[in-house]
Structure formats: C-alpha cells, structure tokens
Amino acid sequence: MSTQPEPDPGAHPALDRQDIAHLARLARLAVTDEELDRFAGQLGAVLDAVARVQRADAGDVVPTTHAVPLTNVLRPDVVTPCLPRDVVLAGAPAAEDGRFRVPRILGEEE
Amino acid sequence: MSDLTALPVTALQAALASGETSAVEVTRAHLDRIAAEDGDLGAYLHVDADAALQRAGEIDASGTAGTGLAGIPVALKDVFVTEGVPTTSGSRILEGWRPPYSATVASRLHDAGTVLLGKTNMDEFAMGSSTENSAYKVTRNPWDRDRIPGGSSGGSSAAVAGRLAPFALGTDTGGSIRQPAAVTGLVGHKPTYGSVSRYGLIAFSSSLDQAGPMARTVMDAALLHEAIGGHDPRDSTSIDAPVPTVVEAARRGAGGDLSGLRVGVVRELGGEGARDGYDPGVLERFTEAVALLEAAGAEVREVSCPAFDLALPAYYLIAPSEASSNLARFEGMRFGIRVGDDGSRDIDEVMALTREQGFGPEVKRRIILGTYALSAGYYDAYYGQAQKVRTLINRDFLAAFDDVDVLVSPTSPTVAWPIGARVDDPLAMYAADLCTLPASLAGVPAISVPCGLSEGLPVGLQVMAPALSDDRCYRVAAAVEAAQGAPLADRLAERAA
C-alpha cells in the first residue's frame, strides 16, 4: 500500500494482513496472528463504509478542523506550581532516582 | 422519609435544606442500593463507601447541605481523572492508576459540595455504544437486564436509571451521553463544544469530546449542567462565554408553552425515504412527540440537511484519526501498566507489548484505522475529505437554523438491543450513532429527552440547537417532559415496586 501515492477516488485498496501488520507497527501495537485475520476482515468492511465520504462534492470546501474557531489562545506568562515530582512518579510503572525508569532505548548495534 | 433514591435532585435539595434528611442519610441510601443491586447491574467500576460517608458527614457538619448541590451524591464516568481515586477509562492499560490531579468538572462538583459515590463503567476510552467494550465488566440496562445500557456512558446511565445515583456525568464524542440516556429513559445533554471544560477528561477525539449531565428529570440535568459549565483557562478550546441559563429554561419549558417556537424535523434522520434501520416503534413515539410539540404551540416543519447522510462515514474517519494520536500517550512509561520489561527488550518492544495487552479489540481497530487514514497518500482522500464533509454538515445546520429555532429527530434509531447482539459487527454498533453524529461534528448542543416506550423499552427524542443556545434544548425537553405528566424514569420504579 505504501507504494501507491494517490488512491483512486471512490475506490480504495483492501487492507490485507500485511497492511494491518505494517499499520500496527507504526502505531507501536503488537498484534497476534488471530487479530491480524480478524482485523483485516473487519477493517475492510469499515473502510468500505467510510469511503462514502469521497462521494461528497466538496472540492473547494474549506475543511473544518474544529467546531469552535478559536485562534492564538494564550495564558498570562505567570509561573505557577506544577505537580510535585514524587506524586507524579508514584503513578509510574517504574521510577528511579526521581525519574521515570524506562527500558533500553538504543539497540546493541547503535 | 420516603425512599431517598427515588427522589429527584430538586426534592433532595428541599429535604436537605429543611433538615428533613441529611447528606449522610442520602448518601447511605444510595450506597445501600449500590450494595444490593450493583453486583447484577454492573454500573460502577469503583465505589469508596467510607470516603463518601465521610465526605457527606463533612457537608452536614458545615451546615451547607441543601444549598445548591451541597450534600447531593453524584457519579462520574471513569473517563474523568479524580485525584487519588482509581481512574481507568474502562481500559486495562490504566488498571490501578490513581491520578495525581482532578478534572476541572470533578473539582467544580467537589467545590459545589457534592458527594462522589463512585466511578462508572464505560466502553474502553469511550469507544462504543453498548459499554460492552469495557475491559472490566458488563453493564446491564435496568429496564431489561438482558439488554445493553447504551454507551459509551453506559455505567452512568445504568446507575441513574437504576437509582444507584441521583444524577451522573457522562461524556459525548459521537452520542455517548444522548444514546445511553435514550435507551435507559433518562435526560442526557451534550453541551455546545467548548462550553464545558475538557481538562482532566481522558481524550478520545479532542475536537468532539464534551462532558455533560445525565439525570432522571430535565431540571436535574440543568442543575448539574450549570454546576460544571463555564470557561476554564486550563482548556485552550474552552469558550469564554457565560453558561447558558439552562435552569431558567427548564423552568420556563415546564410551563408547557412553546408558542412561536419554530421546530424543524430533519428529513434525513428518520423522515420519508430515510427510515432504513429505524424501529417502527421508535418512529411512532417520535411522531407522537412532534405532535406534543405542536400541541404546545410550536410551529413544526420539515427541514432537509443532505450532508447529514455523510456524518457517519466522516465521524468514523475523524474520531479514529484523533484517537490514534491521543492514545499514543499510553505507552507504559509514565503511568498505568508496563508489560515485558524484563531487561531483554528495548523500549519499542515494551511499548508494543504493553499496548497489545493493555488495549481491547475496538481500541486497536480504531488506532489502526486512524493510523491508516492519516498516513501519507491517504490523508487527503480520507481524513481531509472527512473534514470537508464536516464543513458541509455545519452549513446544513446554519441554513436550517435560519428557518427554525431547534431541530428534532429520534435520538437512537432503535431501542436497547440484547447484550452480545452486535459485539462482532463494528458497523452494526456504529449505526447506533446515526442520529447523534451531526450535532457532534458541528459542535452544537443536543439533548435527549424520553418520549415513551416501545416494546416496553425507552425511546428518546433528540433536540438540537445552535451553538451556545443550550437553553433551547432544555426548554423544549422540559415541555415534552411536562406534556407526558411524569418523568419516564419514574415508571421503572413503579414497575419494580
């Protein structure tokens, strides 16, 4: 799918297991074989249904990103206290020396 | 004193103010009912009886009970973060998490003196229309315990309809307050987008999410609405405008006079030629409700909003797209569970395993769909086009509101369906949102008010109004409620008695 830059309007490529696996990887989501099979069928049906938006005659229409047109919402530049560090870290799965402890972020070869 | 769980909030206020009862007694009555019924109903994910009674005791000692909402118990959907109180958003990925702060709406209710009974069940991350996507438990509809209570705010609807809370907060992204209210015989209102703070509301689709009240009467919903509404500097999408005077509107509407009000019946939502998927009984109750409006003096006409036909596909592109981005924060590093961190795996593998085990199937489907709709080469055809459709829907609303003051439709095309009937068919589940999605996409306020029973199950009338005219929704809803004599929710109590 990633080799097709512009999908044909009104049509769409079906999502196969490989596509689902690729999208899941992009979304940092491990998926089981059984899920790949199930999601490929279900998401294909959903995609068929939502592809109807392409029928709308909306060529020059300005997209709406938000229901309320607010721009440049700023707050006063005043320092206010943030949450205490120990309170925040109390909810973390792992903490050490006053910081979040995380798994290795670089591979062996890096 | 009669059964305190059967009284509307307005009656509880009076009984507290006169000293006829106390906040402790009111709270205990609801806790007793939770203890007796919730094992079967499954409305709550978390109840802390001792904390609730202690809080009620403090309100009694302060002498404020009965002033405003002081001393009135309330339930919160588990999507609102509450300091020190477990908050899961219906997901395993947040199991055991106790937030370090509270949502603005939770703080406002606390400051008003309400007593938190507990956190209610919901579809995981508010994705669903039946509450069956909760990672924790099934919630049953108090009208028929083999049926769903609606969703995603189904724990709140079951709690209030079952009298396990006087009223509750829900959230509505595509109908998640209105549809559960409709199928459990409650009043549920989705306020104008931006008029109630989203700070501390665990985000699903940020451009659509909105908190609102669920109650057994229109006035009770209005009281809760005014307590939570208004500008919040901590939410950058919050509108800096006064809260619409919905309590006054509910009072006025209860007088039953709608003379001069122009009501538009939306052809595309259950009108001629658009009735596929609607229960005949729902359409009959809807027609009768429209006749009630006419009898109350309203001028009724049919209105066409052709772009509403594309609300469902537009919504199911926009909401999953925003969700795929919002849910990236759940990676097992800063809060919630972490899976597979045994020293052998790197951070990407641990994140992927945590999300695999922490998220349920519907959340995964929507993350994958959203990731697809936002990916290079597909963005314009899907997400971009959906946003253009959103503009067309806005235009239809604006044109309609040139001619009429409010728009009406059924809230849900069907009554509550049997538990399990739609779990393996995402499209059938999505169809439940058909009537509620246009108001969500346009950000306009919409209320669901009970308008009778079909096959013994509640049916809701939806009333939509222009942005920041929430008062019109309450006025019309109160007139419909008054025309029926007594709130529909009372009939459930009578049936049980």
pLDDT interval class at B1 (50, 70, 90): low
Q: A62 to chain B: which residues are within 8 Å by CB?
A: 388, 391
B364 touches chain A (CB under 8 A): yes
Residues 45-84 of A with CB under 8 A from B: 45-47, 49-56, 58, 61-68, 70, 73, 75, 83
Catalytic residue among B129, B130, B153, B176: B176
Nearest CA in chain B to A76: B233
* Active site (annotated) includes residue B176: yes
Kindly tell me if the per-residue pLDDT of A13 is higher than 70: no
CB distance A63–B307 less than 8 Å?
no
Q: State the CB neighbour count (10 A cutoff) for residue B144.
A: 17
Chain A partners of B365 at a C-beta cutoff of 8 Å?
Answer: 39, 42-43, 46
Q: Do B352 and A51 touch (CB under 8 A)?
A: no
Res B214 pLDDT > 80: yes
Residues of A with Cβ-Cβ distance to B334 under 8 angstroms: 91-92, 100
Please tell me the predicted confidence (pLDDT) of residue B149: 98
Evaluate whether B419 touches B147 at the Cβ level (below 8 Å). Answer: yes
Is the per-residue pLDDT at B350 higher than 80? yes
- B448 annotated active-site: no
CA distances to B69, B116, B117, B165 from B65, in Å = 8, 14, 16, 17
CB B358 within 8 A of CB B350: no
Average pLDDT of every residue of chain B:
96
**Could you tell me the pLDDT band of residue B228, with boundaries at 50, 70 and 90?**
very high
Q: How confident is the model at residue B409 (pLDDT cuts 50, 70, 90)?
A: very high
Instruction: Say how many Å lie between the first and final Cα of chain B, rounded.
Output: 17
Q: Which residues of chain B are within 8 Å of residue A24 when distances are taken between CB atoms?
A: 364, 368
pLDDT, position A6: 44
Token pair 């998926």 is found at A31
Judge whether A6 is closer than 8 Å to chain B, CB to CB: yes
Q: Which domains does chain A have, with CATH numbers?
A: 9-56 (1.10.20.60)
pLDDT digit string, tens, across residues B171-201: 999 999 999 999 999 999 999 999 999 999 9
Q: Which residues of B touch A107 (CB under 8 A)?
A: 346
**CATH fold label, B4-259+448-496:** Amidase signature (AS) enzymes (3.90.1300)
State yes or no: is B107 an active-site residue: no
Q: Which residues of A touch B361 (CB under 8 A)?
A: 35, 38-39
Average pLDDT estimate for B367-373: 96
Q: Is the pLDDT of residue B226 over 50?
A: yes
Q: Are B375 and A24 in contact (CB under 8 A)?
A: no
Per-residue pLDDT reduced to its tens digit, B241-299 = 999 999 999 999 999 999 999 999 999 999 988 999 999 999 999 999 999 999 999 99
Where does residue B477 fall: left (phi above 0), alpha (psi -120 to 50 degrees), or beta otherwise? alpha
Q: Mean pLDDT, to the nearest integer, of B390-407?
A: 98
Chain A / chain B CB contacts < 8 angstroms = 198
Interface test with B, best of A18, A22, A23, A28 (most B CBs within 10 A): A28
Q: What are phi and psi of B327, to 5 degrees?
A: -80, 0
pLDDT, position B2: 75
- Nearest Cα of chain B lies from the Cα of A70 at a distance, in angstroms, of 7
User: Residue A23 above 90 pLDDT?
Assistant: yes
Span B136-166, pLDDT tens digits: 999 999 999 999 999 999 999 999 999 999 9
Are A95 and A89 a contacting pair, CB within 8 Å? yes
Per the model's pLDDT, the better-predicted residue between A54 and B389 turns out to be B389
pTM for this entry: 0.96
Which amino acid would we find at residue B236?
A: S
Give the residue-averaged pLDDT of B8-17: 98
Q: What pLDDT shows up at residue A110?
A: 52
pLDDT of residue B387: 96
Q: Which of B457, B414, B456, B465 is nearest to B435 (CA)?
A: B414
**Residue range B359-374: mean pLDDT, rounded:** 96
Give the pLDDT of residue A63. 93
Nearest Cα to Cα of residue B293 among B335, B269, B257: B257
Of B236, B324, B346, the CB nearest to A107: B346
**Least trusted range by pLDDT, from B157-161, B206-210, B265-269, B424-428:** B424-428
Query: What tens digit of pLDDT does each residue of B86-118 get?
Result: 999 999 999 999 999 999 999 999 999 999 999
Would you call B372 an interface residue with chain A, using a CB distance cutoff of 8 Å?
A: yes
Q: What is the pLDDT, as a whole number, of residue A76? A: 87
pLDDT band at A7; cut points 50, 70, 90: very low
Confidence band of A10 (pLDDT split at 50, 70, 90): very low
Mean pLDDT of A39-54: 91
DSSP result, B175-244: STTHHHHHHTT-EEEEPPTTSB--TTBPPSSTTT-EEEEEESSHHHHHHHHHHHBS--TT-TT---SPPP
Model confidence at B29: pLDDT above 50? yes
